[in-house]
A = this chain, B = another copy of it.
Amino acid sequence: MRATIIHGAGDVRIETVPDPVILEPTDAIVRIVRACICGSDLHPFHNKPAGSDPRAIGHEFIGVVEDTGSAVRTVSRGDFVIAPFVWSDGTCEFCREGLFTSCLHGGDWGDENVGGGQGEATRVPQADGTLIPVPGITEDSELLPSLLTLSDVYGTGYHAAITAGVRPGETVVVIGDGAVGLLAVLSAKQLGAEKIILMGRHEARTNLGREFGATDVVSARGEEGIAQVRELSGGHGAHRVLEAVGFLPAYEQALGVVRPGGAISRVGVPQYVEAPAGRVLFRPNVTLTGGVAPVRKYIDTLLPLVLDGTVNPGRVFDMTVSIEDVPSGYVAMDERRALKVLVKP
């Protein structure tokens, strides 16, 4: 089968690899119907050292179960399924608490003997704990793009809003106009935020953000951006700041716009080790929260809204490529010509 393999920075190739096979009784094989490229895939696209081991890439996909191991109970051949961006056993103490991203027996797509999402098919370890079947969906459904967002970006934006503690009537700032930021806007709106200030500078994206519920857009950054947000939020900043970028300046922006007693929730993977975290948080009682989103936990809440058309998070996709064109999709996202690229194997 064909799959996307990353060899190093800027070096993404489509290669023929062995078809996946069942290795454990808890495995399934899923034929991938739709996948996509994540903003976080751009980090290895920028940084992966040349000469490091090639690795299957892609961690967001929906598909159809082709085969199951003897111990699999909750999905069967022919089921349409959503795969969260990590796999998990569903039974360990962290999974039982809903923290599937800290599963004691889980892992990442692209790990040894586990395929990536940007391919024709993959082995799925811990199929019962990982896959969510969605009855009634066919491969020509108009809902496919929105269902695909449940594997990562929608649940990640929702995680930001939930962990920040967004409550009705509050002011929320969202930093970043990528897919996660825009879906953090949608999530804040769902949780009843009254004023949602989106910080971003790409007009097509911030316009979609307005459709998702942003009441204000601030394109300025740094001190000027902070001043504008503070003016929009009554002078003291916002109760909740959802940071969906991951670079240090975005975190510093968050520190500048958060209100005393408020919270910063990060869902962009931090690209730094040390950061200002002393009295700048302590004096105003600002809480720093968020993290790698356990998106599986939110599917119960979000899937019904996708199925009944209440929300249409799939609007974040603005480019579609075949599997052979995945490398050009990386370039389009890297050059910010595409917001988010859908892959149709």
A97 at the interface (CB under 8 A from B): yes
A276 near B279 with CB under 8 A, answer no
Residues on B with beta carbons closer than 8 Å to the beta carbon of A277 = 270, 274-277, 288
A289 near B290 with CB under 8 A, answer no
A269 at the interface (CB under 8 A from B): yes
Q: Could you say how many copies of this chain the assembly holds?
A: 2
How far is A281 from B289 in the complex, measured between Cα atoms in Å?
A: 8
From the candidates B261, B279, B280, B294, name the one contacting A269 in the complex (CB within 8 A).
B279
Chain B proximity of A301: nearest CB distance (Å): 18
Contact indicator per residue, chain A 69-94, by CB within 8 Å of chain B (1) or not (0): 00000000000000000000000011
Contact indicator per residue, chain A 259-287, by CB within 8 Å of chain B (1) or not (0): 01100001001111111111111111111
- Decide: A260 near B99, CB < 8 A? Known: A282-B266, A285-B290: yes
B163 near A260 with CB under 8 A, answer no
Residues on B with beta carbons closer than 8 Å to the beta carbon of A273 = 276, 278-280
How far is A282 from B163 in the complex, measured between Cα atoms in Å?
A: 12
From the candidates B94, B274, B279, B291, name the one contacting A282 in the complex (CB within 8 A).
B291
A292 near B283 with CB under 8 A, answer yes
Residues on B with beta carbons closer than 8 Å to the beta carbon of A291 = 281-286
Q: Which of A266, A284, A291 has the largest number of chain B CB atoms within 10 A?
A: A291
Chain B proximity of A10: nearest CB distance (Å): 24
A residues 224-276 in Cβ contact with B at 8 Å: 236, 260-261, 266, 269-276
How far is A238 from B93 in the complex, measured between Cα atoms in Å?
A: 13
- Decide: A278 near B275, CB < 8 A? Known: A260-B94, A287-B289: yes
From the candidates B102, B284, B289, name the one contacting A288 in the complex (CB within 8 A).
B289
Residues on B with beta carbons closer than 8 Å to the beta carbon of A269 = 279, 282
A101 at the interface (CB under 8 A from B): yes
Interface size on A, residues (CB 8 A): 36
Chain B proximity of A36: nearest CB distance (Å): 22
Q: Which of A236, A281, A290 has the largest number of chain B CB atoms within 10 A?
A: A281
Q: Which of A260, A275, A286 has the largest number of chain B CB atoms within 10 A?
A: A260
How far is A288 from B285 in the complex, measured between Cα atoms in Å?
A: 10
Residues on B with beta carbons closer than 8 Å to the beta carbon of A285 = 99, 101-102, 163, 290-292, 294
B270 near A163 with CB under 8 A, answer no
A279 near B270 with CB under 8 A, answer yes
Chain B proximity of A55: nearest CB distance (Å): 19
Residues on B with beta carbons closer than 8 Å to the beta carbon of A290 = 282, 285
B292 near A261 with CB under 8 A, answer no
Residues on B with beta carbons closer than 8 Å to the beta carbon of A279 = 269-270, 273
How far is A22 from B165 in the complex, measured between Cα atoms in Å?
A: 43
How far is A273 from B255 in the complex, measured between Cα atoms in Å?
A: 13
B284 near A102 with CB under 8 A, answer yes
How far is A163 from B282 in the complex, measured between Cα atoms in Å?
A: 12
Residues on B with beta carbons closer than 8 Å to the beta carbon of A99 = 260-261, 285
- 7 additional A-B pairs beyond A102-B260, A273-B279, beta carbons within 8 Å, are A99-B261, A102-B284, A163-B287, A266-B282, A270-B279, A276-B277, A284-B291
Between-chain CB contacts (< 8 Å), 19 pairs: A94-B260, A99-B261, A101-B285, A102-B284, A163-B285, A270-B277, A270-B282, A272-B278, A273-B276, A274-B276, A274-B277, A275-B275, A276-B277, A281-B288, A282-B290, A285-B291, A285-B294, A287-B287, A287-B289
